[in-house]
Structure 1
């Protein structure tokens, strides 16, 4: 578990420090996480200086923060009666929203991912792919392979891959072992979904900043997401409406 501290110094500059990078044994229950955080705060001598804690939406984290809040309220007066003590990570909530949308084109995402894996696994295949790229005089960007648990890396993979749709088609004709060809109709779906996700990617980049305050930025960004979801829920494309509707339901939940 990594514990990162943000604070304002005497010159009123925002500072960031990693307080601890520690092994937390199984089971990762709320009590275990609480004990790890207690030790971290004690070692850092900041037990009476913690104003707010930001975590993702795991149930164990909810339990841990509730226990810590009860502990803190016995020792110090929390600002605003502790209403800001537990802050949920906005970037994590966005990830949950988008994963719902990406699941609707899961088979296409799988084909793109596996196709890229196949090509980049061999220098000879990659060279063939690059040769086709040059013949078509397309931009010299590189293929991107995503980290499936990070939605924005999947977005970048799709956004880059869609520019190479002609290259994938021609490469398939030169390598019969390449089994992950995406159809023109599927590429069109990817383009439409990417148009929707580009807003969420922009918001994620803004609220994930660590060198500047984000608490004053997240609300208009969240509103931007709500507006695009409301718009796409009325889209002409059935599957875009379906994706936006499911994402909107998840948005309202959080």
Structure 2
């Protein structure tokens, strides 16, 4: 709006001359501020910089410093903490791995050491999740092994030839119990990023993991849980207005997880069944 207004800057003064009741013509100081504000807001159209706070916050004009500081505070409120789920999903995309967050985080988080800390935070979280899933998968293997032992033991009564199979299974189990020098996560991250052939738009990360599930038994299970999370976006203003419908006087004691589940669940169900929200006028009448 401001950039369009700048193109018609001379129209305001002409309109002032023709319309005696027009008392809102911007002054030369106003136009100077508009030009500076447009220069700052233009940065939002660039993917490399979300906000040019370092220059604007140190501007000589106090009104620019105050505005840029306020914008930076709101920006840090939403992005100050790393969006972990989105970052993990990005790393588990075989086309991206760690390369994308290492490129994007320095553009989002300033100074450089903060970006490096967030990269390490993602790597540590990924490792913790992998260890948790690996322990769970190992427990399932042990239970399966116990069942095999009982079956083989009962078979020994029937035939002495099964004893050889029993010894062989024990040997295989001992070999499998020896952990490899590298974990699945380390192997995955050390390998080169996958470059799909042909049209990359048709690439499915879940399909890739399904095809590589024998190689990455633990990671494929972890990926199935993370990449299956539905992604939805909503304007911050819409979230607050929806909060009034969900958190009324009777639900004011709901915890954060329950509120999030109600809002997200309602949004997903409306999208699934093609339902539309009521207009605000109807909501107020109800």
TM-score computed with the length of structure 2 as normaliser: 0.28
Bigger Rg, which one: 2
Larger strand fraction of residues: 1
TM-score computed with the length of structure 1 as normaliser: 0.30
